[in-house]
């Protein structure tokens, strides 16, 4: 047997089993509905998945890193999150299915011209160590093949990019997130300095989206107020565009907004909902705008269906507030321009990125999910798998 080589799939199988306790292709699976005080290790479990076969016009990729984001739990099929997003292409994860995540993977075998071994791709896909993709994108929900990661971009920075995309589109193109007046007259007024300085409020300001949103609005000349959990994080976000910061666990948000924005808020970029949405709503200016990008405060409530909701909605009438939601799946056509703009701003020093990087094993995923919901992160949380080694596939 000395000179014989194992087939590609067998090489991957043996190497993967050696590194994952006997599993050929481990994947994180939704196995139990969350309890009122959930632990991710009880909700998700690692289960062996079939090792996929690479056919013509396909390539196999191994996961290098994953973005640990709120949607990991928010997208589970639960009584409280039946919001109709399926109509927009969002499939809620049911028990027995693998968990979808945004991830970066490295090509380890390819039978299509567009991808070669060693290329990195980024996509939203099940969290399974090895998976196969078509090079023409026909197996993807959006019909697009996974885009490659530029060689000059690190895996961690790539996973940080999508949060910037959301912030960019909301701040520049969403009617409830824009601070610039539309049209030629709005451009002239801004050029001549006739536009009054706007006050913007951002919740979850130390999260991946909030970090970018604060800088974007600051670059537009706004006075930006951020809300985060602790005083340490509140002090730190001032390095990322925020003029003022509120630590909601240590001070009353309603009282502080009265002190920091006595004349009111023009735009409220909300990532949290519930009590923070209520507090911010009390301080909106007449004609102010609220854009809801997420509702992190409701994630634990999805299991019971007892949603806290927006209790201050009655202020919308007298103040003639404009209120809107944002869902990135509805704006895929805007992503290329957003990426180009973000890269240019970064190169010019107008935009800084930051994330919390954990280098760990495949088994550390649930620990990271719990860490995210504890608030013990700054920027986006990225788990980089350092226990996989390098698997080379013979040509």
Structure tokens at 263: 């004349």
CA atoms 132, 134, 139, 145: torsion sign:
positive
Question: Is residue 394 over pLDDT 50?
Answer: no
CA dist list (Å): 228 to 73, 181, 271 = 21, 29, 11
Q: Look at residue 1 in the predicted model and tell me its pLDDT.
A: 36
343 or 119: which leads in pLDDT: 119
CA atoms 364, 368, 370, 374: torsion sign:
positive
- Partner residues linked to 45 by β-bridges: 29
Structure tokens at 287: 């004609």
248 vs 239: CA distance, rounded Å: 19
Asked if residue 313 lies in contact with residue 350, where contact means CB atoms within 8 angstroms, the answer is no
- For 70-86, how does the pLDDT look when each residue is reduced to its tens digit (9 = 90+)? 888 888 888 777 777 67
Summary mean pLDDT of the chain? 87
Closest CA to 323 of 274, 283, 358, 281: 281
Residue 92's pLDDT band, with cuts at 50, 70 and 90, is confident
Closest CA to 134 of 50, 52, 60, 49: 60
Question: Is residue 192 over pLDDT 70?
Answer: no
136 vs 134: CA distance, rounded Å: 5
| Percent of the chain at pLDDT exceeding 70 | 87
Asked if residue 284 lies in contact with residue 268, where contact means CB atoms within 8 angstroms, the answer is yes
Q: Which of 52-56, 116-120, 179-183, 292-296 has the lowest mean pLDDT?
A: 179-183
131 vs 128: CA distance, rounded Å: 7
Phi-psi region of 389 (alpha: psi -120 to 50; beta: other; left: phi over 0): left
Asked if residue 129 lies in contact with residue 64, where contact means CB atoms within 8 angstroms, the answer is no
Backbone angles phi, psi at 359, to 5 degrees: -100, 115
DSSP state of 379: B
Residue 395's pLDDT band, with cuts at 50, 70 and 90, is very low
Residue 35's pLDDT band, with cuts at 50, 70 and 90, is confident
Highest mean pLDDT of the ranges 162-166, 178-182, 281-285:
281-285
85 or 103: which leads in pLDDT: 103
Mean pLDDT of 376-386: 93
Q: Look at residue 93 in the predicted model and tell me its pLDDT.
A: 87
Structure tokens at 47: 């289960």
60 vs 239: CA distance, rounded Å: 41
Q: Which of 93-97, 119-123, 208-212, 266-270 has the lowest mean pLDDT?
A: 93-97
Mean pLDDT of 300-324: 91
363 vs 44: CA distance, rounded Å: 11
Distance in angstroms between the alpha carbons of the first and the last residue of the chain: 19
Question: Is residue 7 over pLDDT 70?
Answer: no
345 vs 92: CA distance, rounded Å: 35
Question: Is residue 263 over pLDDT 60?
Answer: yes
Mean pLDDT of 323-350: 91
What DSSP string describes 71-108? HHHHTB--GGG--SGGGGTPPPBPTTSBPEEEEEEEEE
Mean pLDDT of 325-339: 90
The kind and range of the H/E element at 212 are helix 208-219
- For 310-319, how does the pLDDT look when each residue is reduced to its tens digit (9 = 90+)? 999 999 999 9
Backbone angles phi, psi at 244, to 5 degrees: -135, 155
Q: Look at residue 4 in the predicted model and tell me its pLDDT.
A: 42
Residue 139's pLDDT band, with cuts at 50, 70 and 90, is confident
Closest CA to 221 of 258, 257, 267: 267
- Partner residues linked to 27 by β-bridges: 47, 128
Closest CA to 242 of 280, 282, 277, 199: 199
Residues 6+ apart with CB under 8 A from 158: 104, 120, 122, 149
Q: Which of 29-43, 117-131, 264-278, 368-382 has the lowest mean pLDDT?
A: 29-43
Asked if residue 60 lies in contact with residue 54, where contact means CB atoms within 8 angstroms, the answer is yes
279 or 163: which leads in pLDDT: 279
Q: Look at residue 191 in the predicted model and tell me its pLDDT.
A: 67
110 or 2: which leads in pLDDT: 110
3-class SS letters over 276-326: HHHHHHCCEEEEEEEEECCCHHHHHHCCCCCCCCCCCCCHHHHCCCEEEEC
Give alpha helix (H) positions in the chain: 8-19, 40-43, 71-74, 155-173, 183-191, 208-219, 231-236, 253-260, 274-281, 315-318, 335-347, 365-374
């Amino acid at each position: 047997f000395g000179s014989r080589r194992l087939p590609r799939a067998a090489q991957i199988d043996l190497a993967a089993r050696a590194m994952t306790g006997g599993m050929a292709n481990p994947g994180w699976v939704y196995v139990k509905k969350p309890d009122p005080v959930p632990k991710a290790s009880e909700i998700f479990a690692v289960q062996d998945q079939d090792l996929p076969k690479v056919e013509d016009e396909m390539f196999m990729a191994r996961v290098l890193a994953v973005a640990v984001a709120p949607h990991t739990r928010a997208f589970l099929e639960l009584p409280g999150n039946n919001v109709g997003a399926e109509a927009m292409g969002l499939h809620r994860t049911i028990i027995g299915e693998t968990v979808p995540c945004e991830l970066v993977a490295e090509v380890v075998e390819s039978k299509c011209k567009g991808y070669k071994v060693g290329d990195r791709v980024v996509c939203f896909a099940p969290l399974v160590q090895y998976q196969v993709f078509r090079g023409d994108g026909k197996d993807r929900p959006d019909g697009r093949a996974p885009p490659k990661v530029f060689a000059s971009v690190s895996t961690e920075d790539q996973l940080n990019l999508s949060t910037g995309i959301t912030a960019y589109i909301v701040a520049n193109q969403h009617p409830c997130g824009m601070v610039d007046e539309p049209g030629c007259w709005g451009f002239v007024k801004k050029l001549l300095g006739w536009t009054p300085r706007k006050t913007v409020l951002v919740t979850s300001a130390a999260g991946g989206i909030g970090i970018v949103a604060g800088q974007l609005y600051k670059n537009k000349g706004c006075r930006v107020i951020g809300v985060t959990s602790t005083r340490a994080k509140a002090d730190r976000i001032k390095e990322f565009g925020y003029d003022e910061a509120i630590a909601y666990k240590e001070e009353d948000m309603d009282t502080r907004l009265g002190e920091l924005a006595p004349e009111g808020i023009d735009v409220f970029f909300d990532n949290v909902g519930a009590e923070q949405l209520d507090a911010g709503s009390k301080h909106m200016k007449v004609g102010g705008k609220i854009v809801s990008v997420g509702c992190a405060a409701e994630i634990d409530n999805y299991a019971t269906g007892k949603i806290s909701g927006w209790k201050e909605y009655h202020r919308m009438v007298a103040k003639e507030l404009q209120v809107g939601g944002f869902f990135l799946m509805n704006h895929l056509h805007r992503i290329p321009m957003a990426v180009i703009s973000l890269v240019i701003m970064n190169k010019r020093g107008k935009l800084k990125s930051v994330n919390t990087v954990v280098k760990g094993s495949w088994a550390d995923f649930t620990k990271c999910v719990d860490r995210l919901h504890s608030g013990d992160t700054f920027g986006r949380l990225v788990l980089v798998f350092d226990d996989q080694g390098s698997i080379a596939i013979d040509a």
